[in-house]
Amino acid sequence: GAVVSQHPSRVICKSGTSVKIECRSLDFQATTMFWYRQFPKQSLMLMATSNEGSKATYEQGVEKDKFLINHASLTLSTLTVTSAHPEDSSFYICSAKPLLLAGGSYSSYNEQFFGPGTRLTVL
Amino acid sequence: RKEVEQDPGPFNVPEGATVAFNCTYSNSASQSFFWYRQDCRKEPKLLMSVYSSGNEDGRFTAQLNRASQYISLLIRDSKLSDSATYLCVVNELTDSWGKLQFGAGTQVVVTP
């Protein structure tokens, strides 16, 4: 249980295009999903916290107009990188905090499950 | 100053040996602590939570020292499959979401 998928796993695009990344919780509902970015040999950096049905909360330094987040349902959040540039090339990872784990056990409030990540390369 | 700091390594460990490393955190109000494992180009996966009294999970032992604000991970009888980057993760309960702060990771390379 507690599987998170991301799509696409890899994307290469031209500078100036927009890229949408989907994050889905497959066997649980997640009221809260998180979007991270990781540059080579660096730590995961939280970009934003996405709550179902409300606006995302962005971390300091993350442009909300550039990284559009939509959390339309309890199992899906999307991150759109608008007008991507080479410096946006990175590994984007989502995580989801279960409302209820598969099998009926409750998650501790700390537990997050990570998607497999999306590797974005902007040419 | 980074919220969570780790020695990047690499720690080169002969198979069967023991390796240990620490991580320090800056926020004394941090509530929960974890070790995650990340393989190259993959997502992090939870290795174990770290409890105040210290805890073991098979060959892995985690310790927490709140006074000095560090946590440690010890791996006994290292296997080749233990080669990975180990991420120290601290949960800052700034809100109900539970914000995770990640260290940059400690690379462990187990050699035959």
Taking the C-alpha atoms of residue B15 and residue B95, their distance in angstroms, rounded to an integer, is 42
pLDDT tens digits along A26-77:
988 887 899 999 998 888 999 999 988 888 999 999 999 999 999 888 899 9
CB A101 within 8 A of CB A107: yes
What average pLDDT score do residues A69-88 get?
Answer: 94
Q: Give the mutation candidate from A23, A34, A44, A99 for the B interface (greatest B CB count, under 10 A).
A: A44
Q: Which ranges of A1-123 would DSSP assign to H, the alpha helix?
A: none
Please, which residues 25-64 of chain B have a Cβ atom closer than 8 Å to chain A? 31-32, 34, 41-46, 49
Nearest CB to A93; choose among B31, B34, B43: B43
Beta-bridge mates of residue A78: A22, A70
Confidence of residue A90 (pLDDT cuts 50, 70, 90): very high
- Residue A117 predicted with pLDDT over 90: yes
| Strands A29-38 and A45-51, sheet pairing | antiparallel
**Given this model, what pLDDT does residue A106 score?**
45
pLDDT tens digits along B56-108:
999 999 999 999 999 999 999 999 999 999 999 998 765 555 678 899 999 99
Q: How many CB atoms lie within 10 A of CB A115?
A: 27
Sheet strands (E) in chain A: 4-7, 10-13, 19-25, 29-38, 45-51, 57-58, 67-73, 76-81, 90-100, 113-114, 118-122
Rg (CA), chain A: 14
pLDDT tens digits along B29-52:
888 899 999 998 889 998 998 988
Residues in chain A: 123
**Given this model, what pLDDT does residue A28 score?**
84
pLDDT tens digits along A2-24:
789 999 999 999 999 999 999 99
